[in-house]
């Protein structure tokens, strides 16, 4: 999740070869000019937003993920995932040496008091996005290792409780917790064999839960996890998509070189996945710069890929500048240098800072959400979009009293401004139908462990993982009730809505949810 996440993850994935898994995408679907925004930045005003500011039927939800939330790592028949192995074998790679064995204990809190679902309902969310733990369904990751009926029962009960309370389940099939059995058997995603096992797993999910789950997300952030991905299809009148993480790349200067660099940066992150899914081929810039190292699609694969999704999920947190750099002729070719675009969060040594996020990859730029959506509308023929993640973190300061820890005005400001730009994009005709806040609760944030907090609910890790609503939870509850309110910071006209984090520059993609990519 932080700037060293990719290096840490490579220990588990053995430095996945460039583009390998996206070639596999063509098999998985069987079963289951980058113009930059030139619109004028509108002035933020005191006009308040609420649910009524968005079209009828627009879905508001919050999000979580199995390894980050559930706990119960060795309970209920669950097998180990690569994250269980990684956090126990390399605790030094996690900022606080922690793991997700207990996480925030959603596994038990649902089973005993159904507490988390009641919080979702009380706040007024329309939907709840969660992921299914592959190894809780298939302990070894493979059918040959048996199906865990206790795991199926757990998710059936969770889904039933959500539906009974009028909450739409948005289910992610894979959110990074690959079963260790698959990693041990053939190297995990390094092998095309993983496609068959993923297909088996997905078909179990569709069969067991598809009568109630109508929105499926196959993979969460394939760019971050493996620098590649694949998608799948369902057959029970549900819709299927993929959640992509990207920011918007803003040219470092008005030079044509930097404008071209920003275009390439978008191609090498966003286009890497959306171009095959919409056009059946990688972006032309990738084909030209990567050459023979980029896998080729057959005509049959290309046809299978085109249109093989019902919606696109966008995880948007951040954006940054893109600056042209010369070709790397000295070192080994790599994804980090192929795009010939450097990612920066300051211009000429002067960052646009109003406040700092805790994570050094999170350069806060609300306008970038609208820019990204307009870019998607123009380049990819306005597909159906859900904002599947959006949020900001603060440091977990153990010295703060509970009362002070619940004060998160910066998070309110973050959401207020992002929702402002989101509704502007909708007015511009972008086909966005939903928004999910990351996250409902503070949780295990991958390589950062428990040192940062993304939740709108505070989790007291020292006292039984008890949940407490932060100010942002009350803000969202009022928003969802239709009450008008706005952050004081939005009342001044003509302000620049752009922030960055503490880090000054990055080269290539070395983050959990990177900005410019």
In the chain, % of residues over pLDDT 70: 79
Q: Give which of 332, 514, 443, 376 is closest to 104, Cα–Cα.
A: 443
Q: Which CATH architecture has domain 5-506?
A: Alpha-Beta Barrel (3.20)
75 in active site: no
Q: Which of 183, 389, 417, 445 is catalytic?
A: 389
Predicted confidence (pLDDT) at residue 479 exceeds the cutoff of 60: yes
For residue 35, the model assigns a pLDDT of 28
Comparing 20-34, 145-159, 172-186, 254-268, the range with the smallest average pLDDT is 20-34
In the chain, % of residues over pLDDT 90: 69
Give me the mean pLDDT over the 365-383 stretch. 96
Which of residues 64 and 490 earns the better pLDDT score? 64
Decide if 53 contacts 65 (C-beta within 8 A). no
Determine the 3-state secondary structure of 411 from DSSP. helix
Domain boundaries, the chain: 5-506
Question: pLDDT tens digits for 247-273?
Answer: 899 999 999 999 999 999 999 999 999
Question: pLDDT tens digits for 176-212?
Answer: 999 999 999 999 988 989 989 999 999 999 999 999 9
DSSP state of 11: H
403 in active site: no
Q: What Rg, from alpha-carbon coordinates, does the chain have?
A: 21
Question: pLDDT tens digits for 379-425?
Answer: 999 999 999 999 999 999 999 999 999 999 999 999 999 999 999 99
Identify how many contiguous H helices and E strands the chain contains and give both numbers: 20, 16
Q: Which of 161, 183, 208, 221 is catalytic?
A: 221
Residue 258, token pair as written in the block = 């930097």
Task: Give the up-direction half-sphere exposure of residue 81: CA atoms within 13 A in the CB hemisphere.
Answer: 24
């Amino acid at each position: 999740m932080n700037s060293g996440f990719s290096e840490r993850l490579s220990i588990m994935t053995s430095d996945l070869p460039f583009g390998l898994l996206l070639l596999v995408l063509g098999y998985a679907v069987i079963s289951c000019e980058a113009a930059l925004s030139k619109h004028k930045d509108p002035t933020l005003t005191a006009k308040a937003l609420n649910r009524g500011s968005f079209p009828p039927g627009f879905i508001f939800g919050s999000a979580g993920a199995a390894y980050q939330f559930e706990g119960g790592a060795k309970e209920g028949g669950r097998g180990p995932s690569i994250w269980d192995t990684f956090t126990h074998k390399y605790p030094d790679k996690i900022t606080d040496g922690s793991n997700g064995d207990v996480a925030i204990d959603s596994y038990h809190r649902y089973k005993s008091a159904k507490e988390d679902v009641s919080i979702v309902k009380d706040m007024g969310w329309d939907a709840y996005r969660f992921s299914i733990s592959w190894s809780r369904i298939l302990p070894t990751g493979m059918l040959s290792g048996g199906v865990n009926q206790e795991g199926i029962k757990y998710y059936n009960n969770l889904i039933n409780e959500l539906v009974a309370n009028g909450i739409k389940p948005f289910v992610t099939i894979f959110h990074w917790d690959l079963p260790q059995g698959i990693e041990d058997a053939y190297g995990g995603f390094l092998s095309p064999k993983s496609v068959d096992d993923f297909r088996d797993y997905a078909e179990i999910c569709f069969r067991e839960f598809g009568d109630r789950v109508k929105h499926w997300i196959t993979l969460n952030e394939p760019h971050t996890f493996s620098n590649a991905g694949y998608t799948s299809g369902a057959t029970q009148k549900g819709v299927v998509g993929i959640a992509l993480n990207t920011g918007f790349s803003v040219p470092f200067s008005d030079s044509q070189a930097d404008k071209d660099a920003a275009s390439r940066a978008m191609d090498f992150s966003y286009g890497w996945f959306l171009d095959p899914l919409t056009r059946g081929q990688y972006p032309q810039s990738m084909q030209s710069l990567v050459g023979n190292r980029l896998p080729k699609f057959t005509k049959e694969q290309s046809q299978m890929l085109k249109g093989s999704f019902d919606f696109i999920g966008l995880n948007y947190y951040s954006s940054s500048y893109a600056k042209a750099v010369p070709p790397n002729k000295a070192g080994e070719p790599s994804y980090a240098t192929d795009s010939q675009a450097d990612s920066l969060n300051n211009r000429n040594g002067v960052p646009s800072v109003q406040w700092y996020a805790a994570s050094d990859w999170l350069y806060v730029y609300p306008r970038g959400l609208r820019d990204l959506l307009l870019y998607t509308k123009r380049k990819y023929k306005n597909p159906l979009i859900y904002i599947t993640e959006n949020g900001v973190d603060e440091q977990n300061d153990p010295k703060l009293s509970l009362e002070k820890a619940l004060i998160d005005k910066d998070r309110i400001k973050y959401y207020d401004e992002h929702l402002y730009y989101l509704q502007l994009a909708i007015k511009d005709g972008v086909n966005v139908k939903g928004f999910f806040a990351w996250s409902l609760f503070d949780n295990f944030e991958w390589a950062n462990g428990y040192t940062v907090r993304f939740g709108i609910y505070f989790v007291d890790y020292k006292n039984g993982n008890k949940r407490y609503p932060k100010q942002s939870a009350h803000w969202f509850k009022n928003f969802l009730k239709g009450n008008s309110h706005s952050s004081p910071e939005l009342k001044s006209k003509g302000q620049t809505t752009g922030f960055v984090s503490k880090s000054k520059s990055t080269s290539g993609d070395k983050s959990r949810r990177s900005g410019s990519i």
